[in-house]
Amino acid sequence: MRKLTVSLLLIVLLALFGVASAQDVVTLEFWGGWTGPDGAIMQKLVDQYNAENPGVHVNLTVQQWSPLFDAFIAAASAGTSPDIMAMHPQETAMFINLGLIDPVEDIVAASEVFQKDAYVQKAWDLQFYDGTMYALPFDLGVHGLFYNVDMFEEAGIEAAPTNAEEFLEAARLLTVDANGLHPGDEGFDPANIVRYAINMHTNHHAFYQWYALYNQLGGQLFSEDGMSCAMDLDKAAQAWKWLQDLVYVHYAAPQGQTDYARDFISGRTAMLIDGPWQIPAMIAAEADGLNWATAPYPTIFDQPAVWGSGHDFTFPTYADPEKRDEAIAFIEWLGANSFDWLESGQLPIRNDIIESEEFAELKGRQSFVDMLPNQVLLPNIPKFSEIFASNAPTPMMVMGQRIILENADVATEVENACNLITAILSVP
């Protein structure tokens, strides 16, 4: 109760103070979708910048990405925008197509921080659309393999699996039923599995994984003109079949799983495919005895490929042009001071950081960084949402959920999805 009174008092004081000093301070609206613990880290960075720059106040607005974009579009419909809008590289085309974000080439030309050579090439290249640079890179993330070291030792597995054969063997050894039997053993009881080898996503990460595997087979998604689906249906089905079989044939992954990280941390699964953003949670779980390590995403098929994404900063067209210089200065500062951001688990993209000793000391990151050259992103197209959105019944979501949750026929689902995608793309 006293705390409440104190904070109420503080708020009143702050309000008074804020009113008094608000006159000559430039306020920057900065929007991002970091709703996890990463939001707190970003706020810390913003606070630091505000403290060091009394003439500027950065106001960080955090909301889940989807409603954040709703607000972004609503604001734009009335001709206003935040000064800086964070997003993912594969989402920029949507907003470029709507005329909501400006190119950043003038910024890059004048910037000492944002120089091509200072960045991992991949991170830099992702910021271009139709040959023009529209966003400034901040971080990248890829899927990787987390594994429980104790369980690996107990099962006698020496190293994390790197290919299909090793993967299936590890999966067999790590999956255990109530009698201590493994799949393939006589009397193995699939209805009473106490530990699974690995997780199986039932949300959008299912088709993220599929996309990686499909790329491992060298598959293509859209036709050259971008007007229709050009999936190799056999390869697409083959990639899904691998994931589906892990659940329904090999019993290596639980059916209808809901919380992957929790299951891995609590020992229900021995491996976890997910992004580096899980690293902070893993470190926190060490206190409860979790012994974890990371390995690259295995190459199941012909060539290495792994799903990935990242964060970047864009400068909205409807933002107040008078604040653009201050906004650029802030983003340059963030770019140059991005080491602290690594606490969120996301991967660095500046060469100096990747090569630094401090980074080498951070646990679990190296396997992820090693995979960056193989990172594949979903195609950055204007109709991204209609095909790939994660919280709507898009063709990708429906295909993935039907295959993984309902054990639906992969060939049929792939064909359905391809037809739906063509229907969406062919509308001008």
Partner 1 sequence: MNKTLSRVVWYVVLAVILVVALGPVVWMVATSLKPETEIVTTEIRWLPQNATFEHFGAIFQAHPMTQWLFNSLFTATAATVLVLVLDSLAGYAFARLRFRGRGIIFLIVLSMLFVPIQITIIPLFILFSRMGLTDTYWALILPVGANVTGVFLMRQFFLSIPAELEEAARVDGASTFRILISIVLPLARPALTAVAIITFLSTWNSFLWPLIVTRSDSVRTLPVGIAQFLSLRPGLVQGQMSIGQSMAGAVVAALPPIVVFVILQRYFIEGISRTGLKG
Partner 2 sequence: MRITPNAAHRGDPAVALATKMRSRASFTPYLFILPYLVFFVLFRLGPSLAGLGISFTNWQAVRPPQYIAFANFSAMGRDPLFSAAFSNTVFFVVITVPALIILSLALALFLNQSRRGRTLGRVAVFMPFVIMSTVVGVLWTWILDKDFGLMNAYLNVFGIQDVPWLVSEGTAMYGVILTTVWWTVGYNMVLFLAGLQDIPTELYEAARIDGARSWGVFRFVTLPMLAPTTFLVLMLTVINSFQVFDQTYVMTGGGPGTSTLTLVQYIYTTSFQFQKFGYGSAIALILFGLLVLVAFFQIRAHRRGIEGVE
In angstroms, what is the minimal distance from the CB of 76 to partner 2?
5
Stretch that binds partner 1, among 152-160, 220-228, 254-262, 414-422 (CB under 8 A): 254-262
- Residue 15 touching partner 1 (CB under 8 A): yes
Length of the chain: 428
Nearer to partner 1, 263 or 386 (CB): 263
Report what 256 binds from partner 2, partner 1, none; CB cut-off 5-8 Å by kind: partner 2
> How many CB atoms within 10 Å of residue 177?
19
**CB 332 within 8 Å of CB 113:** yes
Please state the closest distance from residue 42 (CB atom) to partner 1, in A: 11
Q: Are strands 26-32 and 56-62 parallel, antiparallel or unpaired?
A: parallel
Q: Are 41 and 47 in contact (CB under 8 A)?
A: no
Q: How far is the CB of 419 from partner 2 (least distance, A)?
A: 10
Residue from 196, 171, 201 nearest 266 by CA: 196
Query: How far is the CA of 100 from the CAs of 45, 77, 312, 319, in angstroms?
Result: 26, 10, 15, 9
The two three-digit tokens of residue 216, written as one number: 């491992």
Between 261 and 329, name the residue whose CB sits nearer to partner 1. 261
Of 365, 320, 367, 328, the C-alpha closest to 347 is: 365
- Closest separation in Å from C-beta 318 to partner 1: 11
203 makes contact with partner 1 (CB under 8 A) = yes
The residue from 18, 54, 99, 373 that contacts partner 2 (CB under 8 A) is 99
Alpha helices (H) along 186-323:
204-216, 233-248, 260-265, 279-285
Q: Which residues contact 157 (CB under 8 A, 6 or more apart)?
A: 170, 173, 174
- For position 312 contacting partner 1 by CB under 8 A, the verdict is no
Q: How far is the CB of 160 from partner 2 (least distance, A)?
A: 26
Does 423 contact partner 2 by CB under 8 A? yes
Partner in contact with 144, chosen from partner 1, partner 2, none, beta carbon below 5 to 8 Å by kind: none
> Per the structure block, which two tokens stand in for 212?
């990686």
Q: Which is nearer to partner 1, 67 or 226 (CB)?
A: 67
Taking residue 158's Cβ as centre, other Cβ atoms within 10 Å add up to 8
Report helix, strand or coil for 190.
helix
Q: Which does 402 bind (CB under 5 to 8 A by kind): partner 1, partner 2, none?
A: partner 2
> Which among 220, 212, 237 has a CA at the least distance from the CA of 375?
212
Do residues 175 and 251 make contact, with C-beta atoms less than 8 angstroms apart? yes
Contact status, residue 257 vs residue 263, Cβ threshold 8 Å: yes
Q: Is residue 98 part of the contact set for partner 1 (CB under 8 A)?
A: no
In whole angstroms, the minimum distance from the beta carbon of 281 to partner 1 comes to 4
* Binding at 102: pick from partner 1, partner 2, none (beta carbon under 5-8 Å per type): none
Residue 207 CA to residue 133 CA, distance in Å, equals 28
Q: What share of the chain is helix, strand, coil (3-state, %, to 5)?
A: 50, 15, 30
Q: Which stretch binds partner 1 (CB under 8 A): 60-68, 222-230, 375-383, 405-413?
A: 60-68
Residue 33 binds which one of partner 1, partner 2, none, with CB within 5 to 8 A depending on kind? partner 1
21 counts as binding partner 1 under rule CB under 8 A: no
The tokens describing 162, both together, are 């790197």
* Under rule CB under 8 A, residue 76 binds partner 2: yes
Which CB atom, from 132 or from 391, has the smaller least distance to partner 1?
391
Q: What's the CA gap between 127 and 382, in Å, rounded?
A: 15
For residue 116, the tally of other CB atoms under 10 A from its CB is 10
Q: Measured in whole angstroms, how far is the alpha carbon of residue 404 from the centre of its chain? A: 20
45 is in the binding site of which of partner 2, partner 1, none (Cβ under 5 to 8 A by kind)?
none
Q: Which does 38 bind (CB under 5 to 8 A by kind): partner 2, partner 1, none?
A: partner 1
Rule CB under 8 A: which of 115-174 touch partner 1?
Answer: 141
Q: Taking CB under 8 A as the criterion, which residues in 271-300 touch partner 1?
A: 275, 277-278, 280-281, 288
* Closest separation in Å from C-beta 191 to partner 2: 10
Residues 45-74 contacting partner 2, CB under 8 A: 66, 69-70, 73-74
d(CA 328, CA 422): 39
Residues that bind partner 1 (CB under 8 A): 3-4, 7-8, 11, 15, 29, 31, 33-40, 59, 61-65, 67, 70-71, 74-75, 77-80, 82, 141, 201, 203-205, 258-262, 265-266, 275, 277-278, 280-281, 288, 344-345, 390-391
Residues that bind partner 2 (CB under 8 A): 66, 69-70, 73-74, 76-77, 94, 98-100, 202, 254, 256-259, 383, 385-386, 389-393, 397-398, 401-402, 405-406, 420, 423
